[in-house]
Amino acid sequence: MKQAVSGINPNDSEEEQKRILSEERDSKGEPFRPVFLYPKRKLRMQLNIERETGQMKVQSLPRGDIFQRMMVRRPRKEEMSTEQDWPSVWPVARSFRSSVVPLPIRMGARRHPERRAPFKTEGNLELVKIPNFLHLTPAAIERHCNAIKKFCTKWPEKLDDNARHKFFPLTVSYCDYVHQGNSLRDMRSRVIIVQLKLSALYLDDHAVDKLIRLVGDRYNPENDMLTIVTDRCFTRKQNYDYAMYLLIALYNESFKVEDWEVKKPEDIRLISRTIDFKGSKMENDLQNLLINMKEEKGNETITMQKMDSKLEEFSKSWENYRNSKETFETVRNYAESIKKLLGISQSLDQSAP
């Protein structure tokens, strides 16, 4: 058993048995023998020895072949003409090649840039790292546009801004950005801008007033445009869904009438966003003033219908003056309406001393 396991022969001497035990053996008791593997090709030293001793025949190359090996072609950019068809030279996006681009481009950082210019085009790895747009030259873009032009339709001439807002009231805007960086993502590209005219929602007076109060400064009364900007989510799709959710929530919330929203008619003027001429103190004072002027002059031709028509014309300029930003035009129109209401034909500057 001992001989089968360790490969020791009991008839051997004690020293031989110790030597066998110290050696590494396999399962069959055979010792491990070193194996030297030589490469199939000859080493340089062997070739030199054979060449010096004459054991190897040196093959002599013809003189013409040597000249062909030594001949190096000039860079392609030096052979280009000024009328070269560049889209054929650089048709698709690829890495920068200094031998093809005939531009004196330099890129890289050096110490003391005021003394030494950046690295040249040849062998410049910085130009190879970054993406280039040499395949998107104006000539290439024009050629691509002409190729796909036959598949496009003309923009409808009658579809101006008014028609566009009528048939396509909702406008969604976003931007794509291309920049140099370690990531293709740009956080600005996730921003979604939704624009909608408030008149396209078909709201009643209460809903319009409540919606404008909810959106705050996102509503522009000059062009009746509601603008919602969403940028809190990580992706553009999430921001778009969030903008649609906000628009639907605002629309549904504007129609709700809470208990605290039900006000008496006399309290509505206190919470209204705009000042109305009807029911105001100015209306009562002007009516009393016109009645007194009629009694003093004794002019019976001025009927109540004419007085109401004059007050209606004056109310438009008065509401415009009170509810809009004060400008030279609004002040002048307000002054002219007062003169017309009171029958003053000349201003104070033109009156006689």
Tens digit of each residue's pLDDT (9 = 90 or more) over 76-125: 888 888 888 999 999 998 899 988 998 888 888 888 888 888 888 888 88
Question: Between these two residues, 38 and 86, which has the higher pLDDT value?
Answer: 86
Of 243, 220, 219, 217, nearest to 230 by C-alpha is 243
Question: Who contacts 258 (Cβ-Cβ below 8 Å, separation ≥6)?
Answer: none
pLDDT higher than 60, residue 259: yes
Query: Which of 7-21, 53-67, 169-183 has the highest average model confidence (pLDDT)?
Result: 169-183
pLDDT digits (tens, 9 = 90+) for 14-32: 787 777 666 666 777 677 7
- Quote the CA–CA distance of 103 and 94 in Å, as a whole number: 17
Tell whether the model's pLDDT for residue 304 goes beyond 80. Answer: no
* Percent of the chain with pLDDT strictly greater than 90: 21
Residue 226 is predicted with a pLDDT of 94
pLDDT for the residue 341: 75
CA dihedral over 17, 18, 23, 26, signed as positive or negative: positive
Flag whether pLDDT at 257 surpasses 70.
Answer: yes
Mean local confidence (pLDDT), 232-252 = 94
Residue 251 has pLDDT above 80, yes or no: yes
Calculate mean pLDDT across residues 156-185: 84
CATH 3.30.160.20 residue ranges of the chain are 161-263
In degrees rounded to 5, what are phi and psi of residue 101? -85, 115
What is the DSSP-derived secondary structure letter of residue 25?
A: B
Q: What pLDDT is stored for residue 40 in this prediction?
A: 66
pLDDT of 4 over the 90 cut: no
Say what the pLDDT of residue 174 is.
95
- d(C-alpha 223, C-alpha 242), whole Å: 25
Mean pLDDT, residues 184-208 taken together = 89
Nearest to 273 by CA among 201, 206, 327, 195: 206
Which pLDDT band holds residue 347 (cuts at 50, 70, 90)?
very low
Please give the pLDDT value at position 175: 93
Which whole number is the average pLDDT over 274-298? Answer: 70
- With residue 329 as reference, give the H or E element that holds it: helix 328-342
* Overall fold of domain 161-263: Double Stranded RNA Binding Domain (3.30.160)
Mean pLDDT of the chain: 79
- Please report which confidence band the pLDDT of residue 280 belongs to, taking 50, 70 and 90 as the band edges: confident
Dist. CA 237–CA 61, nearest whole Å: 68
